């Protein structure tokens, strides 16, 4: 009989599960605290659960995370796990420590179907959606591994922020994502505030509205272009959900957003989207959407046919936006010595014959 993986459930799901085996619903909260807060690896150690329940779980359930294929640590403290999600697919999770927070960058799919022109994950194509357990397991594994590696063995929380900015388009895997987000927020699990969990999307308009209704965490939108003509080329999803609709969805989201702004991500591509004219067009586009901009210097990969804007151009572009009163940051790449880059090693595992470098930035924000 196949065991039930308890990482698959949010706390409501766990309640339904424990009730289905004849237990009281509140046992789910205890179970959740053991699994997510204390990182209990097995049921035997859950000492305040009745022996009968523990024995039942030992036979029928499991706490199963994908196997770790590689665990690398950068000189700057960035840490990266490569996880085996089966059938030759692997995904990455990256922890980025900063002075005042610890951010985990989580993947939502193996590959991605959106196929943005500048993204190596997109170039890999789409393999499959991750399950809720595979999404949650990234946080579960990372949080408890990081705690164990602290000398003092303290039980203090290490991950303070989660960003869905790893491999994949999270809002194209909405059904599996939602319970994972709920666990991140639940006080009986990770207890993160809604401001500290960010979903990044290339612009799935209907799912932005669903997220607003069902679990309004912080929203980042990968904008990358000020006009439909250019965005159609860079982010093919724009042909389905053009800018006018996307901006309207952002405005609707702001009514419930935990932060009173949308973060717009904008990859800086030399000669393509980085001129002063583009900046002026952007300002017109977002004029009635309270927002911040995060400029991402393009991370080149072979055969991309694209180049990163110069540092001077990025500065000038950022200045244009700041001068208009929009808080603008430039993303700083972290963990370069371990290729802490979404998609890179995952691609290597999926297709060993291709020697392509796959670089998507995992980076920290630096206020200008
Ligand atoms: N699919 C989601 C989230 C994952 S990508 C999205 O697109 O928003 C996280 C960020 O990295 C996105 O803003 C994406 O546009 C950006 N990105 C992808 N490839 C990049 C590259 N080669 N260089 C710089 N940024 C890149
Ligand atoms: Fe997918 Fe995001 Fe990459 Fe676009 S940038 S291909 S949406 S992962």
CA neighbor of 224 nearest in space, from 143, 122, 303: 122
Q: CA 219, 225, 226, 228 torsion: positive or negative?
A: negative
Give the residue among 36, 322, 324, 287 at the shortest CA–CA distance from 155.
36
- Picking from 158, 142, 140, 122, the residue whose alpha carbon sits closest to that of residue 80 is 142
Q: Which residues of 314-347 are buried (b: 16+ CB within 10 A; e: fewer)?
A: beebbebbeeeebebbbbebbbbebbbbbbbbbb
Nearest CA to ligand 1 atom 1: 169
Residue 346 in this model has a pLDDT that exceeds 90:
no
Reduced DSSP (H G I as helix, E B as strand, rest coil) percent helix, strand, coil of the chain, to 5: 40, 20, 40
Is residue 265 in contact with ligand 1, taking CB distance under 6 Å? yes
pLDDT tens digits, residue range 146-203?
A: 998 876 656 688 999 999 999 999 999 999 999 999 999 999 999 999 999 999 999 9
- Nearest Cα residue to atom 8 of ligand 2: 168
Q: Which residues in 45-59 are b (16+ Cβ under 10 Å) and which e? A: ebeebeeebbebbee
Kindly list the distances between the CA atom of residue 306 and the CA atoms of 114, 120, 267, 303, 363, in Å, as whole numbers in the listed order. 18, 12, 11, 8, 20
DSSP 156: -
Q: Whose CA is nearest to atom 8 of ligand 1?
A: 201
Please tell me what DSSP assigns to residue 236.
G
| Torsions phi, psi for 232 (to 5 deg) | -55, -35
**Crossing angle for the helix pair 205-214 and 243-254, nearest 10 degrees?**
10
For 72, residues 6+ apart whose C-beta sits below 8 A from its C-beta are 79, 80, 338, 340
53-67, 138-152, 279-293: the lowest-pLDDT one: 138-152
Is the shortest distance between the CB of 131 and ligand 1 below 6 Å?
Answer: no
Which ligand is nearest to the Cα of residue 235, counting in written order?
2
Determine the pLDDT at residue 157. Answer: 87
pLDDT tens, position by position, 207-246: 999 999 999 999 999 999 999 999 999 999 999 999 999 9
- Nearest CA to 291 out of 250, 323, 330 is that of 250
Which atom from ligand 2 is nearest to the alpha carbon of 119? 3
Enumerate residues lining ligand 2, CB below 6 A: 112, 114-116, 119, 121-122, 168-169, 202, 222
Burial class (CB in 10 A: 0-12, 13-18, 19+), 232: middle
Question: Would you give the distance in Å from CA 302 to the centre of its chain?
Answer: 25
Q: Which residues contact 48 (CB under 8 A, 6 or more apart)?
A: 30
Q: Which residue would you say has higher pLDDT here, 152 or 51?
A: 51
**Are 30 and 49 within 8 A, CB to CB?**
yes
Question: pLDDT tens across 72-99, in order?
Answer: 999 889 999 999 999 999 999 999 999 9
Backbone angles phi, psi at 88, to 5 degrees: 80, 5
CA distances to 61, 96, 142, 353 from 72, in Å: 30, 12, 12, 23
- Ligand 1: residue whose CA is nearest its atom 18: 119
Q: Is the pLDDT of residue 360 over 50?
A: no
Q: Considering the chain, what percentage of its residues have pLDDT values greater than 90?
A: 81
Res. 345: pLDDT tops 50 = no
- Look up the pTM and report it: 0.93
Q: Are 191 and 33 in contact (CB under 8 A)?
A: no
Average model confidence (pLDDT) across the chain = 90
> Residue 140 above 60 pLDDT?
yes
pLDDT value for 153 = 57
Angle at 227 between CA 222 and CA 229, to 5 degrees: 105
Q: How far is the CA of 119 from the centre of ligand 1 (A)?
A: 6
Please state at what angle helix 311-323 crosses helix 276-285, rounded to 10 degrees.
30
Confidence category of residue 357, pLDDT binned at 50, 70, 90: very low
């Amino acid at each position: 009989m196949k065991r039930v993986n308890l990482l698959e459930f949010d706390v409501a799901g766990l309640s339904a599960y424990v009730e289905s085996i004849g237990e009281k619903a509140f046992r789910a909260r205890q179970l959740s605290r053991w699994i997510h807060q204390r990182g209990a690896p097995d049921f035997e150690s859950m000492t305040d659960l009745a022996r009968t329940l523990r024995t039942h779980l030992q036979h029928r359930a499991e706490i199963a995370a994908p196997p770790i294929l590689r665990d690398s640590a950068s000189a700057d403290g960035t840490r990266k796990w490569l996880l085996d999600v089966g059938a030759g697919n692997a995904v990455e999770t990256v922890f980025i420590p900063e002075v005042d927070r610890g951010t985990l960058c989580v993947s939502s799919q193996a590959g991605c179907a959106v196929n943005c022109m500048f993204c190596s994950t997109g170039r890999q194509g789409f393999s499959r959606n991750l399950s809720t357990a595979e999404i949650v397991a990234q946080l579960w594994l990372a949080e408890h591994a990081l705690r164990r590696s602290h000398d003092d063995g303290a039980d203090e929380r290490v991950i303070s922020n989660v960003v869905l900015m790893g491999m994949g388009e999270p809002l194209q895997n909405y059904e599996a994502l939602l319970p994972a987000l709920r666990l991140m927020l639940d006080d009986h699990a990770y207890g993160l505030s809604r401001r500290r969990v960010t979903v990044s999307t290339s612009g799935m308009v209907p799912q932005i509205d669903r997220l607003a209704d069902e679990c309004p965490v912080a929203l980042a939108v990968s904008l990358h272009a000020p006009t439909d003509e250019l965005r159609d080329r860079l982010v093919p999803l724009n042909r389905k959900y053009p800018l006018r609709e996307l901006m309207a969805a952002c405005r609707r989201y702001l009514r419930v957003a935990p932060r009173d702004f949308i973060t717009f991500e904008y990859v800086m591509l030399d000669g393509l989207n980085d001129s002063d004219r583009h900046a002026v067009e952007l300002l017109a586009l977002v004029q009635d959407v309270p927002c911040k901009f995060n400029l991402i210097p393009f991370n080149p990969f072979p055969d991309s046919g694209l180049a990163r804007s110069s540092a001077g151009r990025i500065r000038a572009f950022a200045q244009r936006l700041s001068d208009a009163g929009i808080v603008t940051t430039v993303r700083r790449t972290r963990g370069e010595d371990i290729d802490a880059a979404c998609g890179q090693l995952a691609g290597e595992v999926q297709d060993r014959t291709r020697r392509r470098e796959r670089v998507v930035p995992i980076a920290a924000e630096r206020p200008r």
